[in-house]
Structure formats: C-alpha cells, structure tokens
C-alpha cells in the first residue's frame, strides 16, 4: 500500500471532522509517523482488532470501526435472512470512545438490515458472550482493549456459540475488507432512527439478571462460606473498569459480608488515573488495594481488568507481605479446589475434562490427571478452548469443568465461551473462604499443592518490538529460530523441537520427524533434557514476541535457578 497516497486520501476525505483533519495535518512533515499510521490496515489477531487510538488506517478510530463492521456485516448477511434477524449483540468497556465506537458499529449493522442488541452502558466481556448465546444471536461485537494501556482500544468479534470468531470467518472478513473502501464502502444509519425502526434494541438490567442467575448457580459450597463470613475479609478492585457492579454482586450472593472495594479504583475512568497499566498481571497496580488490605488485616485481594474478563489475586505470606499469584498458580489452585468441591457437593460429571493452552503450566496437567480428570492442550485464545469444549461435549467424550490460560483468564460453566472474571472472582473467593475454614490462607494452600504435586515454575518474557520495524524484527526472529534452531539452551540439550505452524515434531538426537495433533499457529517449542519447555510466539494483540519458560525442579530454589538460567538465553534473542 502507498502510505502517502492513503494519508492524502484520509486528509482530503469529507468524512473527517475538523479535529481529525488537524491531527493528520500535524504529522505532515513526519513520514515515519505517516507510514506507521497508513502502511496498511490493522489485522485480525487472536482477539480481533486492537491498536492505539489515533486517526489512520492502522489505528483504532470510528472510521476503522465502521469499515471493520461493514466487513463483519457482510459475513453475517451471508447467513441469509435468518442470520440478519438473529442479529448481533454489542457491548463496550470503560475506555475512552468505547461507547462511541459501539454505537457506530450498531449503526452500520442496522444499515445492513441486521438486528442489533446493544447494552445501555459498559458491561463485562463475559456478559457479551452470554448475551450472544442467551438471545441466540448470529454474532457479537465487543469494543474493548481488555488490559492494554489507556491509549489502546479494540474490537472483538464473536460467533453464534458465544466464542470469539473462528479463523475461517476472520479470513472471510479480511477478504471482504480488501474490497470495501474505508469511507465510501460503508453503510450507515442514524442511531435514533434505527431504534425507532426496531433495528436497534437496548439491553439493560434484565440481561444482567439472567447472566447473574447463571453465575451464582456455579456456587459449590455456600455453607462453608457462611461459617467464616463473620471473620473472612477481602479487598476488591476493578481497576476503574466493568467489574465494579457485577463482581461485588456475585461476592455478596456468595455470602461475603466483609467486602472492601478500593474506592478510588471503583470510579469508572478510561484514563485509568491511579495505575500505569490496568492489568492484574502487573502487581504494582495493586498498591492501593494493598494499603486497604493492610489497614483492615485482610489476607486476600482480588482485581479484575477493565473489561472484567481477567482476574488476578494477591495473598499474604507468613511474613505478612502481600504476594502476587501468577495466572498459572491461580489456575492450579482453582482447578484443585474445583475438583474437590465438585466431588464433595456431588456435582462432578462423568468423564471430567480440564483445558489449558500450550503455554500454560504443566502442573495443571499433573493436578488433573492425579485426580482422574483428563487434560487437553489448545492454542492460546479462548476461542480455541471453546472450540475444543464444544467438540468434546458434542461427541460425548467428556464434560469440561474448567478452562484456563496463564494470562489470568478462566472459563467456567456452560453459559459463556470466553474468559469470565465475574464467575472466576466468585469461585476464587469461595476457595479462599474454604481454606480459611480449614485454618489456612491461600499461601498455605499453594505451598501444600507444591508438596503434593511437585515443584513447577513459569515465567513469561515480553520482547517488545514496536512500530513497522518491530513487525519486521518479530518475523526475522521467528525465521532465525526455524532456520538455525538451538541445539542447546543455557548449556542444556534440546531434546525435541515442535513447530505448531505445521504440527511438525523433530527428535533432535535422531533427526526423526513426526507430527502432532495441533497445527496452524505461529509457535515454536523447545523441550529440554531437564524437563523444561521454552515456547516462542508473536503476540496476537500487542507488538511483541512472548517467550514462555515452563520448568520443574526438586524444590522452589531449583525452579528459580532454572528460570534465571533460561532467562539469560531469552535476553540474547533481542540483541
């Protein structure tokens, strides 16, 4: 694409507002910035579109939203009149412009004759997945950038099962967009006129009630929570986002009496004024919650990201310090608890199954299999776990009781097909209360799991490569690792190489090649002689290469030493 030609096209378009034209005019003498904004459109990744909010074809703005929606609308219309009548559910998070973008998407859908159900205001991502299923919609759209910094926004697309769009539909949208002009090829209808015409329907409290009825039906042991309710306390923060209403509601339905919500972060604000990054993976964002916990002698802290699909926890150790718990550790704790609680309550199904991603700790497999639960791997992204869940259950090959990935996402029940921090927050709290009834904190519980199942440790390294040069650097790194793969890493032999692009497996000692079940994703895996696995993949949502170290050892010290040793190798990848 001729980026200067595209820049001039945008600058001259009557579709731009005066402010948008002024923004583009301000970069007229900055060819690097013009190229970054106009060298090509945003591409669909593991979570649809995501990018920095700015005027340009490679950014998130109302014109790109309309253009993407026109492409999606054509895919929906291809399902025929029934697909248009079933329509689309639309949701948005707390970010700047999210409501504006959501309404713009609704206007385009309505102009294409597609019935729209749009939430009256911000809602958690899992409720959008629920609404698609509950109202038998053909599709769903969620305007969110999840846990990204405030400069970002995004556009997630869902299909009729409530999961994010499968690859072949994403490819169909991409093909449609190649033929649609970003300005002249988009149909639009005035929002209020579409409401009057019955093409746009607004969703509110009734949908919340239906969703929450399903959430609270997941409670497994309310009786034990009641036993400690007078003394058990927790601190919750929504990081200025969508969890502010329904997460506290779920916790109170569980029977929690002493719920302390961090007041500054309960304020909805797309600028996220109290944190550098509104991501529960980053423990520094919990500083206000920790202060509140210290003041009130609280052992357990819970935090959800801006669209309330991810949840992170902090726990107090024996020294009184508050420690972050990784997504890997949280998932292992919750999986082990769910297995026990489901058996105690008589709710464990026949042939239970747990799902995890290829980059999630192998300790989850150990916990599952030690307790008679089958464990399957999927690619990163809950659309793949949803796909696996649907396939297993349709074939009668098992019932999925829990799905999770290391990046703080957990899926439970049958009413959503995406990460769900509302339900996960409630069950994590039930778990913490259950351990409190046994005289234990979650720190004690985690130590107990390592003693029972063995010591595992994981670390994710992010090799950030921003801009147009970054995309080239990311591609070059993956190419180099394929063409000249390491025979050893930090002095330890590579035993097996796996390439998930084509599903190939190479035995490094013999050179023998075979294939595995999973293929079709740009991920490399190096399995080492000491049982460590190192995986390398480009992020689907951010400009970075993610390197995952999954290790095990005789004790915590051995695991930490492995993480440090292999981390030194990771650092050499970006030099």
* Active site residue ranges: 146
CA dihedral sign, ordered 437, 443, 445, 448:
negative
CA dihedral sign, ordered 234, 340, 311, 121:
negative
- Work out whether strand 139-143 and strand 152-159 pair parallel, antiparallel, or are unpaired: antiparallel
CB of 547 closer than 8 Å to CB of 570: yes
How open is the CA angle 328-332-336, to the nearest 5 degrees? 170
CB of 61 closer than 8 Å to CB of 55: yes
- Work out whether strand 544-553 and strand 533-538 pair parallel, antiparallel, or are unpaired: antiparallel
Please name the residues in contact with 319: beta carbons below 8 A apart, sequence gap of 6 or more: none
CB of 418 closer than 8 Å to CB of 129: yes
Q: Is 15 helix (H, G, I), strand (E, B) or coil?
A: coil
Cα distances from 87 to residues 30, 113, 211, 382, in angstroms, run 43, 9, 19, 22
Please give the full DSSP string across 103-150, using - where no structure is assigned: HHHHHHHHHTT--EEEESS---HHHHHHHHHHTT-SEEEEE--TTS-T
User: Which letter does DSSP use for residue 256 in this model?
Assistant: -
SS3 readout for 346-387: CCCCCCEEEEEECCCCCHHHHHHHHCCCEEEEECCCHHHHHH
Q: Is 200 helix (H, G, I), strand (E, B) or coil?
A: strand
Cα distances from 397 to residues 139, 343, 519, in angstroms, run 27, 20, 21
Cα distances from 307 to residues 186, 242, 247, 266, 288, in angstroms, run 28, 5, 12, 13, 20
User: Which letter does DSSP use for residue 166 in this model?
Assistant: P
- Tell me which H or E stretch contains 259: strand 258-261
* Owner of token pair 């995004």: 154
Please give the full DSSP string across 58-92, using - where no structure is assigned: TSBSHHHHHHHHHHHHHHHHTT-HHHHHH-EEEEE
Cα distances from 150 to residues 96, 155, 174, 350, 557, in angstroms, run 8, 15, 27, 45, 37
Q: How far apart are CA 28 and CA 35, in angstroms?
A: 11
Please name the residues in contact with 17: beta carbons below 8 A apart, sequence gap of 6 or more: none
């Amino acid at each position: 694409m001729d980026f200067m030609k595209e820049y001039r096209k945008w600058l001259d378009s009557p579709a731009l507002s005066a402010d948008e034209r002024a923004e583009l005019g301000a970069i007229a003498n900055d060819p690097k910035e013009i190229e970054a904004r106009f060298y090509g459109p945003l591409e669909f990744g593991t979570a649809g579109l995501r990018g920095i909010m700015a005027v340009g074809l490679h950014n998130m703005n109302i014109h790109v939203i309309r253009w993407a929606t026109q492409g999606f609308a054509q895919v929906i219309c291809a399902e025929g009149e029934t697909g248009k009548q079933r329509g689309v559910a639309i949701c948005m998070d707390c970010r700047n412009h999210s409501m504006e973008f959501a309404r713009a998407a609704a206007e385009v859908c309505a102009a294409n004759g597609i019935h729209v159900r749009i939430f009256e205001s911000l809602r958690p991502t899992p409720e959008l997945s629920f609404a698609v299923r509950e109202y038998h919609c053909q599709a769903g759209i969620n305007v969110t950038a999840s846990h990204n910094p405030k400069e970002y926004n995004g556009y997630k697309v869902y299909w009729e099962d409530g999961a994010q769009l499968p690859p072949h539909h994403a490819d169909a949208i991409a093909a449609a967009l190649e033929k649609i002009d970003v300005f002249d090829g988009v149909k639009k209808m005035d929002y209020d006129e579409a409401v009057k015409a019955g093409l746009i329907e607004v969703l509110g409290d009734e949908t919340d009630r239906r969703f929450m009825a399903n959430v609270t039906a997941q409670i497994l042991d309310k009786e034990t929570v009641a036993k400690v309710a007078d003394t058990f306390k927790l601190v919750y923060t929504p990081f200025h986002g969508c969890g502010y209403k329904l997460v506290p509601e779920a916790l109170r339905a569980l029977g929690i009496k002493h719920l302390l919500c961090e007041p500054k972060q309960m304020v909805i604000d797309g600028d996220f004024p109290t944190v550098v990054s509104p991501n529960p993976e980053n423990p520094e964002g919990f500083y206000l919650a920790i202060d509140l916990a210290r003041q009130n002698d609280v052992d357990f802290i819970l935090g959800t990201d801006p669209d309330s699909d991810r949840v992170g926890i902090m726990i107090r150790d024996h020294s009184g310090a508050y420690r972050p718990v990784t997504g890997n550790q949280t998932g292992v704790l919750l999986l082990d608890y769910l297995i026990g609680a489901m058996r105690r309550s008589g709710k464990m199904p026949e042939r239970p199954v747990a799902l995890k991603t290829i980059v999630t700790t192998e300790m989850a497999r150990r916990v599952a299999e030690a307790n008679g639960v089958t464990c399957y791997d999927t690619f990163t992204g809950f659309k793949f776990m949803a796909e696996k869940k649907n396939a297993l259950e349709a074939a009668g090959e098992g019932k999925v009781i829990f799905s999770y990935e290391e990046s703080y996402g957990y899926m439970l029940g049958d009413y959503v097909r995406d990460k769900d921090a509302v339900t996960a927050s409630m069950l994590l709290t039930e778990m913490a209360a259950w351990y409190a009834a046994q005289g234990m904190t979650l720190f004690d519980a985690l130590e107990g799991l390592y003693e029972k199942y063995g010591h595992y440790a994981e670390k994710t390294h992010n090799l950030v490569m921003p801009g147009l040069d970054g995309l080239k650097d990311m591609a070059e790194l993956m190419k180099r690792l394929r063409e000249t793969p390491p025979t050893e890493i930090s002095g330890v032999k590579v035993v097996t190489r796996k390439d998930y692009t084509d599903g190939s497996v190479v035995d490094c000692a013999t050179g023998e090649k075979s294939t595995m079940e999973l293929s079709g994703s740009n991920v490399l895996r190096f399995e080492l002689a000491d049982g460590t696995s190192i995986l390398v993949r480009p992020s689907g949502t951010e400009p970075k290469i993610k390197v995952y170290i999954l290790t095990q050892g005789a004790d915590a010290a051995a695991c930490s030493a492995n993480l440090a040793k292999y981390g030194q190798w990771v650092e050499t990848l970006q030099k």
